[in-house]
Amino acid sequence: MSAIRLEFRAVTKRFPAQRRGDAPVTAVQNVSFTVADGEVVSIIGPSGCGKSTLLNMGSGLDPATSGEVFVDGERVTRPNEHVAFMLQKDLLLPWRTIRQNVEFGLEIQGRPTADRHRIAEELLVKCRLQDFIHHYPHQLSGGMRQRAALARTLAVDPAVLLMDEPFSALDAQTKMVLQQDLGRTLADTGKTALFITHDLAEAIALSDRVLVMSQRPGTIIEEIKVDIPDRDNPMERRKSPKVGPYVSALMELLHIDQAAA
């Protein structure tokens, strides 16, 4: 059995009331699940159900009210170098070149300049940005910026990648290209990833398992194992006749009216 990289153990997150007289808000309640080494798990659920809250707790940015989160068996109490977070916005630093942006985390780690250059340039080749290493973020398209953000995320060699709808702001064609890039990169590097998306086909195309959350307070109401080959090739996976039934099952769990979808 594969080693467990990430574990949420009976986690609840409650936020204090924003105004006097209001009740505290419970974002997620008694959530437990694991992500094994090399596995990609997606989380889907209604807006406001606590998906991003789970990632914030997994990264150490926000503590759980009760329960515990573990990365490689170590309890998460603060941000640590074992976890990298990729968000909807690329957050590239505009005054740094693309290579310098990719090297940013390595600089914080104190890596030698030669190592930083080598790692950044290798990743930029994998992300098909080798011709843009000296460009600045404003000179790149949105899709290219997200590929640069992925390279920056991978540069610090994290044990776990947390990804919060990283492609949601992109057009459909660019999104599928980046899904393909991500699927191949995760397979090549053997990385473990927890991925949030509202795109049900994206969840099926990229994941080994899909976790379905309820309305707030969010709980895990279903776990679906994706039994389709070619997880490293999301575009090929999308051609499978099994995708439609998986998406239909997820829509039913989320109570989405298929006639109106």
Q: Where do the domains of the chain lie? A: 4-82+159-253, 95-157
Residues 139-152, mean pLDDT to the nearest whole number: 89
Return the closest-CA partner of residue 158 out of 125, 107, 193.
193
pLDDT of residue 256: 65
Residues 141-169, mean pLDDT to the nearest whole number: 88
Tell whether the model's pLDDT for residue 79 goes beyond 90. Answer: no
Confidence of residue 227 (pLDDT cuts 50, 70, 90): very high
Most confident of 44-53, 78-87, 180-189: 44-53
Confidence of residue 168 (pLDDT cuts 50, 70, 90): confident
Question: Strand 40-44 relative to strand 160-164: parallel, antiparallel, unpaired?
Answer: unpaired
Query: pLDDT > 70: what percent of the chain?
Result: 97
Confidence of residue 173 (pLDDT cuts 50, 70, 90): confident
Q: The whole model's pTM is what?
A: 0.88
Mean residue pLDDT across the chain: 89
- Residue in the structure block whose two tokens are 């920056």: 152
Cis peptide preceding 217, ω within 30 of 0: yes
Cα–Cα dist 259/261, whole Å:
6
Tell whether the model's pLDDT for residue 260 goes beyond 80. Answer: no
Residues forming a β-bridge with 35: 6
Return the closest-CA partner of residue 35 out of 62, 8, 63, 53.
8
pLDDT of residue 37: 94
pLDDT of residue 70: 94
Tell whether the model's pLDDT for residue 82 goes beyond 50. Answer: yes
**Residues in Cβ contact with 60 at an 8 Å cutoff, skipping those fewer than 6 apart:** 76, 77, 78, 79, 80, 83
- Token pair for residue 140? 């790149």
Residues 155-181, mean pLDDT to the nearest whole number: 86
* Topology classification of domain 4-82+159-253: Rossmann fold (3.40.50)
Q: Are residues 31 and 54 in contact, defined by beta-carbon separation less than 8 angstroms?
A: yes
